[in-house]
Every structure is written in C-alpha cells, then in structure tokens.
Structure 1
Amino acid sequence: MAAHLIGMLVLGLVIAGGVLAWRLASGPISLAFLTPYFETALSSESGAFKTVFKDTILTWETTKRAIDIQLVETQVLGRQGDLLAEIPELSVSLSAPALMRGRLAPKSLSIDGLRISLIRRTDGTISLDFSKEKTTSKVLIANLLNEIMQPPDKETPLGSLKRLDILNASLTLSDQKSDIFWDAPLANIFLNRDKTGLTVEAEVDLKLGSSITKLSVLGLVDPVERDISLKVGFSDVIASSVPNVLKELSFLKHIKIPVNGTLATKISSNGTIEPVHFDIQLDKGIVDVTKPLDLTFSLEKGRLIGSFDIANSLFAIETCELNLGPQGTIHLPDIIKKKIPLRRISIVANYFVNAQKLELEKILADLAGPTLRLRGVFQEIAEQISFEIGADIKEMKIGAMAQFWPNNLAPLARTWVTKNLSVGSISAARAKLSGRWSEAGGPQVDSLIGDMNFNNITADYFSPTLKATRANGSAKFDKRMLEI
C-alpha cells in the first residue's frame, strides 16, 4: 500500500512538473500571493524604508536552465512614502528549510544593472553608492550588504540569505587619498556567506586607456573585524597602459610588454590598505626608456615579485629576473654607441615615488661571458637626476673592454688601455662614480675612482720597443690618471 502511494505521488509530481514546464514555456506565471511576504523580508525592521513590488513571477531562465523567481518593478520607499530607489530586475531563490518551517526566507538574491561608486576619502574612510539613473538604491543594497556580512541568523527575515549576485554592473573607484580613479564598465560580483565569513568573487572589465583588461577578484571578509583579504588576477595587460590608472607607476609607460599575474592586499574596516604584493610574469616585448638615459632592449621573458606600499609611496622590487635570450643585447646610445651583449639580468631595488628616488640594492648582469654587479642611488632634484654608482665586473677579455667601457668615462685611461693592452683577461675590476643627468646636458660624471687586476696580458708600453707578454698585474685609475 505504501509503495502504491509513493508511486502515485511520484507520478503526480511528474505530471505537475510537465504541466509547469509547459506553462512556463508559454510565458511567466504570476505569484502575486507571495508578494507581501517578499516585501516584508526585504523591508527594514525599524521602518526606515519599505520595499514594494508590482508583481512576483515565476520564469524559465534559458541561460541558467532553471526556474527563477523575479520581483517586478522593485521600489524602495521612505517613511513618508517618498521614492528612494528603483531596481528594474531583482531575482530571488528561497530557502527550503525555511519553507519546511512555514517561513518565506530568501536564500539568494540577484540584482541586475547597478551603477556602483566606491569612494575612499582623504581620511581613509570608504563609502559606497549604488545608483540606477536618477534614483539611488543605496539604502536597500547597503542593508543587503550589511546583512550578508553578518553571521547567518535564521530568525531574521534575511538570516537565510547565503548568496547575493550583482550582475552586469558598472563600477567606479575614486581614491581621493591617493588620487586614483578606476572605471570598470562591466562587473559581475558574487557574494557567498557561510559560518566562516563572506567570500566575494568578481569578474571585472577595467578600462586601461583605450583598452579593456579582464580582472578576476577573490575577497575574504572577516565577519568580526570586517577586514577584507583581496587577491586580483590579470592577464594580457600591456605594462605601458598601467599608468592610466596608477599615476605613481608612470615609469612603466615606456615598457611595451604583455604581463600577467596576481596582486594581493588587505583592507581594514577603517579604509587602511596594506602593501599590495605582486607576482608578475613578463612576456616577450620591448623596453624603451628615455629618462634618465636612452635604454632599449628586447625581452624574451621575465618575472617581477615585490610590493607597493600606498601609504608610504614605496615600490619595492624583491626579485626581478629578465631573460633576453642567448643573443640578447642592450642599447645605451648616451653611454656606448654599440649594442652591449646582455643575456640575463636580476634586480633588487626600491623606488620612493614621492621623493623620486631609486635605490638599486643589486643588479647582476650576464654579459655573455663577463658578469657585472651594480648598485647605486638615483634621485631627481631641481630638474636634474643625481647618481652614485658602484660597479664590479669579473672575467672580461682585454679585447672586449672597448665594447663595455663608455667613451666619455675616464677617456684618457680608456684610450690608453684599449690601444696598448691586448690578449689576456681582467679577473676583476671595480669602479665608483657619481654625477648628474639633465635633459639639456645629458650625463655628466663628477667623480670616478677604480682599480682592476689582469692576467696573462700583452702590454705595448713604448712602441716600437718590444711588448711585455704574459704579464700579470693591477691598475688604478680616476678621471685623469691611469697607473699600472
């Protein structure tokens, strides 16, 4: 008997499902009797605002391949009945456990077509504005956001809400503290709540100049502290377009290289942004810098790891690895006319944006044989860039010195060495120099000292006398003198 009843029930459900599917195929079904329940669930308990709908309908969403409940022509009214907001498209799904208890409780809500403005003021506080044409839905959306950021509470009207989707939205970010403005014409945002907190996922189209870059965003909101841990992924971004949204990174405007990677940071409830950590992969492209020196090279691949401290305007490069390939070269026409072999280079540096100061902690370069280590400080003051540089080079052939020694750096010593020393090698050489650069005068060296050790060289001291061969020794030099 029980099996017979179960069979009849299943058959009845199948027939009812078929009739419902047939009815939905011909158009939406009105569920007007549910409207008052939804109005109560989405209205303020304190009476600050009331949410009303023209109708509640059941539709078949072909894109989702699912049945959807839509609240038609949603309006948010103030205490005096004044219109606060209009939301053309609002979809809802219901909590099954709540239905079993005889309660109508939204499990998920979907809002379509909002314009969202995120503003970070100079004092660090953050405000949100949600608008649609002339009216604002800030009251309702803020209430939904505040609710979904709380731990679930099944006794409140929205306590069963687990998911809030904001679809086909446009998003702007105005950071008045850092003078940053971002514009995203399309954003889909998904908020999911559980006992451990709130997870935010988003797909954002961000404008970078005339191009659009797709971002994937993952955020975790602490339910107690309200801090947000944020991770952003991006791909196929041309580095030269980044200064369009981050003026502090204006030095990237000459780097025409596709990049992809991740950014990660934490935002506190008072608006404080912790350093933004980045891990970026660099694809094949061209670096063409004009200031402080003309510098050009083609990159095969690279990786950049570091952080950007917005509060202190500090751009820290923890690791920068650039691979130019086995035939790679770099062109520094202001220093050396010919291209210099350069296979790989690694950099550790800090750039202080406000002070316009670059500290090179380490540059290690593979010059297709010799290895070069550099360190130095560059700072722009009074339209000039001062510099202090220390350099060490190892395992350089004597015959290659002319290729690496700049023409205008200790020209007397350079001329004598390149003319009179041949064969052999320099096991180690050191130099320290300082000077300044300006657009009008170019680079100018104020001081220079250095020394070197050489092995197995041939020296032509006083031509046409006999040359010294297989000589080992050392030399020291400055701007005016060379002593061997």
Structure 2
Amino acid sequence: MIRRTAKLLAWTTAGAVVVVGAAGGLFAWRLAQGPIALDPLTPYVERALSDPQGRYRVDVGQLVLSWVDEEESDGLTRLDLRAIDVHAVNAEGDELAAVPELGVGFSVRALFQGKLSPTRLDLVRPRLQVVRRADGSLDFDVRSLPAPGQPEPQEPDGGPDFAGEIVSTLMQPPDIARPLGLLRRLTIIGADLTVTNRMLGLSWHANRADIVLTRDGTEIVGGARLLLDLDGRTAAVEASGVHRMADAETALSTRFDGLQPAALAKIGPLLAPLSAVTVPLGGRIDATLDSRFEPVRFSFDLQGGAGEISLPALRPAPYRVDRLRLRGGLDVPGRRAELERLDLALDGMAMAGRGDLREQGGQRSGSLRLDLTADGTRASLDV
C-alpha cells in the first residue's frame, strides 16, 4: 500500500513538472515571438502613475510584457512590464511629458495593502532637456523624440514640471502616501540630452545618455554615461554622485579621456578661450554642490598628451605641447583657488609650478612658484 502510494505520488509529481515545464516553455516561446499585450491592466497602471489630486494624469498607449535585453537592464536579460507611448497631461489636457517606452516595477508590500505603487521607472529613449534658469532654478523636460517632419520640441516654459516632480520625489524619504512616494530607482536609457545653463550662457548636448538614480532613506546614489556631441566630435564622459538628504549636499565626480578643450569652446562664450588649446585631456573633476546644485568646491586632476597651444599675442606660431599635468582646486565660499601641481613640457622646455590665489575684503593676494628647465639650465621664479 505504501509502495503504491509512493509510486502514485512520484507519477503525479513528474506529471506536474512536465506540465509546468511545458507551460513555461510555451510562455517563453510566446515571449520570443514578441511582447504580450496586457491592455486590461492599463487603467490600473495609469491610475498608479497619475496624481490622486488630479493635477496631472498619465495616459498609456499600450501595456505589454516583454523581454528586456542586456543594454536596458544592467547587463541582465529580464522579464519586464513596459508601457508604450506614455503621456502625462495636466487638467486642461496640455502635455507635460512623454516617453516612447516606460518600464515599471511595483512594490509587493504595497500590493498586499491594496495599492499599486511604482518602485522603479525606466525611461527608454526619451528626449531630456535640463535648464538652469537665470534665477538659478532648475527645470526638467522629458519628451519623445520627434518623428521625421515634426517640429523640434521647445525648451521648458516654466509651466508644470512633471519630470522635476519625479526628481523631487526621489530626494525625499520614501512615503507611500505621496504620488510615486515609494519610487526607489529611476533609470534613463538611451536619452537624447540637452543641458542649458542660462546663468553662465552655456549649452551642451549628448547624443546618448544613460542615467541611473537609486535612493534609500538617507541618500541618492547616481551614475551616468554620456556621449557628448562636441562640434562634430564624440567624447565619452562618466559621472557618479551621492546626494545626502540630511544636508541636501551633493558630491559629484566626473571622469573622461581624450577630450579636446578646443571642442568645448562652442558650448558658450565663457569657454571661448579654450579654442586655443588642442591638447587631448583625460582625468577627473570632483565637485561639491549645495542644495540649489550650485558648486561650492571643485578639485581637478588632469593629464594631457601631445598637442598645441596657440597664443598669438606672444608669438605667431603655436607652442608644441609634449605633456601636461594639472592638479588643483577651488573653494567658492572661501574665494580661494589652489594650483597644487603644474607639469608642462612644450617646445623643449619643462615647467613645474604650484601656487594659490585668494580674495578677501575686495583685495586679491596669492603666490606662484615656477621651476623652468631648458637646454640643461634650470631657473626658479617666485611671484
């Protein structure tokens, strides 16, 4: 009797495994043919993404279940819920934001409480514009890339800032009572990014930007990979940062290699003098930003290869640069700049130096020491 029961149980288990395996294989085969539409669930997702107070609502063109490839999922292929053709509109029906594709993850804990609360948003291939206005305020705008023949989207006009509200939500501790209050991760994949700083008269563009922002209860950790469009040349830049909620201070680090300073000259008049420098640079720039994301402290460590520096006021022919190393920093509130290391080799001459510059009470003071070596002769200069 026991043997017969055990045999029956074994056959039942084996049958269940076969059925589950076949169902799983059929499901995987169906996904391989293309996304599975989940249109009956669309109203629930729209409601979860919309503002309960009615300030804005989110419209989803189509909701699908699909495989996400490695490029869009941190190197791992995963099953994902994707909203297609997503638009956020205000109470009057005016568009506030739009993305061609939006990945969404939800809180399991909130589901047990009867709520559909997003914990992850993936914005796929949007056009993102960030504007620092003349008064120092920041404005964010997210749109779909225009179809051929359609006009280019305009810069944010100071109206309702849907994208900025998402960023603002990330900068606060999680709270299930707020719209998107449980959002912990915002990912922007393959964005066309434009940044405009009207305070400084600067504007730059990245053909592709991949950005990840992750928060816990005390801080936001971010990372980005950018392909900058600099006068027809592409430069790769990586950045990482941490925003602390307690003091609203942000530590930012940027790394790059093979960046031509002359290519930065067209970003704005402030950088126009860099047109004289055609030396490929690599290294890092670290910055501390205050609550308004304005710089408080800078530090830099740069290395340059072979190139040229043009100084027509000194001589018609450009100076040939063999190597360059610069390390220093800037304390904005303390009004102090420091050059920790200068190592420059040009036209057969080597130059090493260090110095600082301060401003206090409207008066400037500083020091500079240069060590020059040319044709075996060395000289020092203190200024």
Length-normalised TM-score, structure 2: 0.79
Pairing 1:312-461 to 2, within 5 Å after superposition: 316-323=338-345, 329=348, 342=349, 344-349=350-355, 361-376=368-383
Partner of 1:160: 182
Partner of 1:127: 139
* Counterpart pick for 1:50 among 28, 50, 57: 57
Partner of 1:148: 170
Partner of 1:106: 118
Flag the 1:139–1:359 CA change in 2: closer, same or farther, 3 A: closer
Deviation at 1:361, TM superposition (A): 1.0
Question: 1:131·1:138 contact (CA, 8 Å) conserved in 2?
Answer: no
Whole-angstrom distance in 1 between the partners of 2:241 and 2:274: 27
Is residue 61 from structure 1 mapped to residue 73 from structure 2 by the alignment?
Answer: no
Partner of 2:361: none
Q: Which runs of 4+ in 1 moved over 6 A?
A: 3-9, 135-138, 309-315, 357-360
Whole-angstrom distance in 2 between the partners of 1:189 and 1:362: 42
Whole-angstrom distance in 1 between the partners of 2:112 and 2:80: 19
Is residue 27 from structure 1 mapped to residue 72 from structure 2 by the alignment?
Answer: no
Question: 1:117·1:129 contact (CA, 8 Å) conserved in 2?
Answer: yes
Q: Read off the aligned partner of 1:345 and give its amino acid letter.
A: M
Pairing 1:190-209 to 2, within 5 Å after superposition: 190-209=212-231
Secondary structure at 2:24's aligned position in 1? helix
Deviation at 1:140, TM superposition (A): 3.5
Question: 1:148·1:161 contact (CA, 8 Å) conserved in 2?
Answer: yes
Secondary structure at 2:296's aligned position in 1? coil
Whole-angstrom distance in 1 between the partners of 2:240 and 2:17: 42
Q: Read off the aligned partner of 1:94 and give its amino acid letter.
A: F
Question: 1:130·1:138 contact (CA, 8 Å) conserved in 2?
Answer: no
Partner of 1:281: 303
Secondary structure at 1:18's aligned position in 2? helix
* Counterpart pick for 1:241 among 244, 259, 263: 263
Q: Read off the aligned partner of 2:102 and give its amino acid letter.
A: L
Flag the 1:375–1:144 CA change in 2: closer, same or farther, 3 A: same
Whole-angstrom distance in 2 between the partners of 1:190 and 1:71: 19
Whole-angstrom distance in 1 between the partners of 2:183 and 2:250: 20
Deviation at 1:44, TM superposition (A): 0.7
Q: Map Cα deviations across residues 105-142 of structure 1 (whole Å, 9 max, x no partner).
A: 32321112333222223332222233345598964423
Q: Map Cα deviations across residues 196-241 of structure 1 (whole Å, 9 max, x no partner).
A: 3111211112232232211111121222333322111111012333
Secondary structure at 2:31's aligned position in 1? helix
Is residue 177 from structure 1 mapped to residue 183 from structure 2 by the alignment?
Answer: no
What RMSD in Å do the two structures reach over aligned CA positions? 3.5
Is residue 217 from structure 1 mapped to residue 224 from structure 2 by the alignment?
Answer: no
Q: Map Cα deviations across residues 396-455 of structure 1 (whole Å, 9 max, x no partner).
A: xxxxxxxxxxxxxxxxxxxxxxxxxxxxxxxxxxxxxxxxxxxxxxxxxxxxxxxxxxxx
Q: Which has the higher contact order (CA 8 A, sep 6+)?
A: 2
Flag the 1:247–1:351 CA change in 2: closer, same or farther, 3 A: farther
Flag the 1:370–1:95 CA change in 2: closer, same or farther, 3 A: same
Deviation at 1:155, TM superposition (A): 5.5
Flag the 1:148–1:6 CA change in 2: closer, same or farther, 3 A: farther
Flag the 1:198–1:358 CA change in 2: closer, same or farther, 3 A: same
Whole-angstrom distance in 2 between the partners of 1:234 and 1:277: 14
Deviation at 1:302, TM superposition (A): 2.9
Q: Map Cα deviations across residues 331-374 of structure 1 (whole Å, 9 max, x no partner).
A: xxxxxxxxxxx3x311235689xxxx997711101234332112
Q: Which structure 2 residue ranges, 5 or more long, are not aligned?
A: 1-5, 147-152, 359-363
Partner of 2:275: 253
Q: Read off the aligned partner of 1:79 and give its amino acid letter.
A: A
Whole-angstrom distance in 1 between the partners of 2:141 and 2:30: 40
Which structure has the larger Rg over C-alpha atoms? Answer: 1
Q: Read off the aligned partner of 1:230 and give its amino acid letter.
A: L
Flag the 1:349–1:241 CA change in 2: closer, same or farther, 3 A: farther
Pairing 1:467-482 to 2, within 5 Å after superposition: none
Deviation at 1:10, TM superposition (A): 5.5
Flag the 1:48–1:229 CA change in 2: closer, same or farther, 3 A: same
Q: Read off the aligned partner of 2:24 and give its amino acid letter.
A: G
Q: Read off the aligned partner of 1:20 and give its amino acid letter.
A: F
Whole-angstrom distance in 2 between the partners of 1:212 and 1:198: 29
Flag the 1:11–1:97 CA change in 2: closer, same or farther, 3 A: farther
* Counterpart pick for 1:232 among 245, 254, 265: 254
Q: Read off the aligned partner of 1:70 and give its amino acid letter.
A: R
Partner of 2:99: 87
Secondary structure at 1:307's aligned position in 2? strand
Flag the 1:49–1:218 CA change in 2: closer, same or farther, 3 A: same
Question: 2:253·2:285 contact (CA, 8 Å) conserved in 1?
Answer: yes
Partner of 1:70: 82
Deviation at 1:314, TM superposition (A): 8.0
**Which 10-residue stretch deviates more, 78-87 or 41-50?**
78-87
For this pair of structures, how many residues does the alignment match?
A: 357
Whole-angstrom distance in 2 between the partners of 1:312 and 1:249: 24
Question: 1:321·1:345 contact (CA, 8 Å) conserved in 2?
Answer: yes
Whole-angstrom distance in 2 between the partners of 1:257 and 1:80: 53
Deviation at 1:305, TM superposition (A): 0.8
Deviation at 1:54, TM superposition (A): 3.2
Question: 2:127·2:143 contact (CA, 8 Å) conserved in 1?
Answer: yes
Deviation at 1:246, TM superposition (A): 5.6
Q: Map Cα deviations across residues 285-308 of structure 1 (whole Å, 9 max, x no partner).
A: 333422245575444333101235
Secondary structure at 2:295's aligned position in 1? coil
Secondary structure at 1:150's aligned position in 2? coil
* Counterpart pick for 1:264 among 283, 286, 302: 286
Length-normalised TM-score, structure 1: 0.64
